[in-house]
Structure 1
């Protein structure tokens, strides 16, 4: 039988960063299409910070954040059809539920894009269809629907797999969407938790022709080159960077959350039919830009978030096959408050992962 009560790091108000409390909470009522996971690893994502401080809107406190969850399946409902069994190593990312077109009007689920389902359940700060709250991975257990639970390939250690379930798929999915491959020239804006996945995915998994990291300074250049980047642009150190590199990139994946970014300069880097995909999520509005940055070369701007369960499985399989390894720093679960503060202060290189003892 599963647990009646779970325990986790609870954010209680807008001052929760560094002030979470370890408390008991009640998971969703058990259903026979659920999987219960004993959490061993939970990655720390910038989304956790935005939610803890109500940066994207008022958070429904109390909240347990964490949506990069890996652990052992300890209870599996009799209606789970996916081959998951007790003892399997499994994971859950940023989304835990979707209508799968049962509502009838959800075109996303009908098209196999459950990650943008209009009736989705996020892994935290959300509600299940029965009205119960969804709690995340800074905890000892997680319970939820089987359809967003993914088996972890043997070749990927649990601590490396955890941040792949949100950060990895968020940065990698736009590359796949736009058919990045050996002839593609890719730019990654920002070398943080998301950006490092973009570099690893483009260089090592997809073997892209050119992978350029775009950052404000060159302090992380050595790391970028070790990850597989072929070039580095430091925008604060080279005033002519946009002119020098104009028209040289087919895809730009922007992972930054700053509303002060030099967006028009980034767009200048796009080649004909190039696409700029933004995956970072600023709390403020994006800067203005001139439409002639796009019109003459039929370039475009898009947004993207995570990926479907199938997308995540395909990414994990490819990362396992090509030997992509997360650059992460493991922290004990008991240090969650210190770890989120360190992430906020830019100290992560490049993903923090909380580990249960």
Structure 2
């Protein structure tokens, strides 16, 4: 096995690319370093971040851009400094981060928190490598080149199409659940029931939480969440006085929504004394204003969480393999990427779209 000099991928050239205007084109990956590996992409999940980036929603995107950071594939090239970590033929996954400074003078990297590195964080796409000046390109492609330290081996028990969305969507909720005490004796609420939220329900259930409450605007996903393991359901636009009825019932809330008009004060009312509200969804606008007394009166906390370190991703995959956590995915041929991102934005995914490469499309 080997990799070509030029890779092919679905490239966005301006903000309209988010409307289904990606073009399958060749591109030159960053120069190969001895710390790198090349991966032949078999699967790539579609993440909301892909849409935000393609339309420059969080700030100007560097075009052309190839998005996709829920990547699974086979290692086809290994740098000499990466051979102790990976071998040709390994099945690996890559999430939202491709590089950190990994130096002892960075407190975050020194303490296993590479996802919070402030000195050398490079995203798997739309990030710039300082040593070469090249911009990272993601997994809506036939191949991807990444530093080996951020590629994680996939357990045999986890299918590739299931592992792909875990690389970002899964770890985005798994990490804050673990770090904030989710488990037996705890009651957990998951706000938003898209790709991230459905992972929140699945993992909270697998962690053995006493109660898992799915929270959404409407009741149209109640049956699905109950099948995933939710014990209760709150529909904020349909249930009268929902915040009063369920006041002080939750130890932890993980919010996956990206809506700047979310009823944040109502969510905080659901928390028990000393409860925690952790935001992982990233709106293109600001979060709603809240009264200070919503925090003071119960001593509750608002926090945030950003994906996870390579070690945390490895732990999550092992946990998923042991507990049989299986996301709800819909496989879509890579050649239908444009159609898929439009339907993703329209909310049609149930609950994660995963692009699947095939040999015929790889030769286009």
Q: Which bin holds the TM-score, normalised by the shorter protein?
A: over 0.9
Residue 352 (structure 1) aligns with: 353
Task: Tell me the secondary structure at the aligned position of residue 308 of structure 2.
Answer: coil
Structure 1 alignment gaps of length 5 or more: none
- 1:163-188 deviation digits (Å, cap 9, x = unpaired): 00000000111010012111110000
Q: Deviations along 1:58-92, whole A, 9 cap, x unmatched?
A: 11111000000000001111111543110010010
Secondary structure of the corresponding residue to residue 15 of structure 1: helix
Give the C-alpha shift of residue 98 in structure 1: 0.4
How do 1:147-226 residues align onto structure 2 when only pairs under 5 Å count?
Answer: 147-204=149-206, 206-226=207-227
Give structure 2 stretches of 5+ with no counterpart. Answer: 359-364
**Stretches (4+) displaced over 4 A:** none
Judged with a 3 Å threshold, the aligned counterparts in structure 2 of structure 1 residues 270 and 82 are, in CA distance, closer, same or farther, namely: farther
Q: Distance in 2 between matches of 1:319 and 1:90?
A: 15
Alignment deviations for residues 283-306 of structure 1 (CA, whole Å, 9 cap, x no partner): 001111111111122100001110
Q: Secondary structure at the match of 1:222?
A: helix
Say whether the 8 Å CA contact 2:85–2:148 is kept in structure 1.
Answer: no
Look up the match of 2:94. Answer: 92
Q: How far apart are the structure 2 equivalents of 1:12 and 1:263?
A: 36
Query: CA separation in 2, counterparts of 1:42 and 1:15?
Result: 21
**Deviation for aligned residue 1:224:** 0.4
Partner of 1:113: 113
Q: 1:45 aligns with which of 47, 50, 61?
A: 47
Task: Supply the distance in 1 between the matched residues of 2:260 and 2:61 (Cα, whole angstroms).
Answer: 21
C-alpha contact (below 8 Å) 2:43/2:73 kept by paired residues:
yes
Q: Please give the residue correspondences for 1:274-313 in structure 2 after superposition, counting only pairs within 5 Å.
A: 274-313=275-314
- CA displacement 1:237-292 (0-9 Å, x = unmatched): 11210000001000100000000100000000000110000000000011111111
Q: TM-score, normalised by structure 2?
A: 0.96
Aligned to 2:362: none
Tell me the residue number matched to 2:237.
Answer: 236
Partner of 2:32: 30
When the two structures are aligned, how many residues end up with a matched partner? 354
Residue equivalent to 2:142: 140
- 2:78 is aligned to 76
